[in-house]
Amino acid sequence: MNSEVKSSNLVTLARWMAGDFSNYQQSSEQPRLFAHIHVLFRPLPFEFFSGIGFYSEQVYDYDLWNPYRQGVHRLVERQDDIYIENYSLQNAYLYAGAARHLDILKTITPECLERRYNCSMIFRREGDRFIGGVEPGNLCLIEREGCQTYLISDVEITENTWVSLDKGMNVETHEQMWGSTYGALKFAKCETFADEVPIMHQKLVSNDR
């Protein structure tokens, strides 16, 4: 695969990820099973990672200033896939709302990040969608209620949709301990931030030379 195609896939995935995704339709049709949630991915400046990166948060629609999940992500193109490093934020509550307010986003610096090793996502393009999952090994560990679990995360991204299913599995019994038991969350893009993705083609493909 030449660098032109690889870079195209990297930029395409980034532009499709950049947005505010809502599962309003799913939650309104099945309110007892699914809460109304927003998943937001806001592009970071090129200088933050010397490449493409995102700040993300997941929030309930009724409580937009209190995200229940926050993170920072760095996209890296490899030979046959796109590798997304995941980072947690020290004092994450300081950056709540950064996906909706650029003045808060600008306060995030690389110094406040901690790499979440073994929790990166790997995406491959399949036609008009990208399919991704946690890197292999079952080593993305999350403790819940005194129980050690490993994360299984499956994601499908198209230009206007985001479908995801996260599950926490007991490290000893491999039984599901947390996560949806009613199927995947299905989001539709209600606002795009694609124009904020830093497109610096020469820098993005320079590693192939």
CA distance 177 to 74: 29
- Given a contact cutoff of 8 angstroms between Cβ atoms, the answer to whether 140 and 116 are in contact is yes
Question: What is residue 209's three-state secondary structure?
Answer: coil
Domain ranges of the chain: 3-125+181-208
Q: What is the pLDDT of residues 153-199, one digit of tens each?
A: 999 999 999 999 999 999 999 999 999 889 999 999 999 999 999 97
HSE (CB half, 13 Å, CA atoms) of 43? 22
- Model pTM? 0.90
Residues 6+ apart with CB under 8 A from 66: 59, 60, 96
pLDDT at 202 over 90: no
End-to-end CA distance of the chain: 14
Structural class in CATH, domain 3-125+181-208: mainly beta
Pick the closest to residue 59 from 23, 86, 25 (CA basis).
23
Residue 47's pLDDT band (cuts 50, 70, 90): very high
pLDDT at 2 over 50: no
Burial class (CB within 10 angstroms; exposed 0-12, middle 13-18, buried 19+) of 31: exposed
Q: What is the pLDDT of residues 82-121, one digit of tens each?
A: 999 999 999 999 999 999 999 999 999 999 999 999 999 9
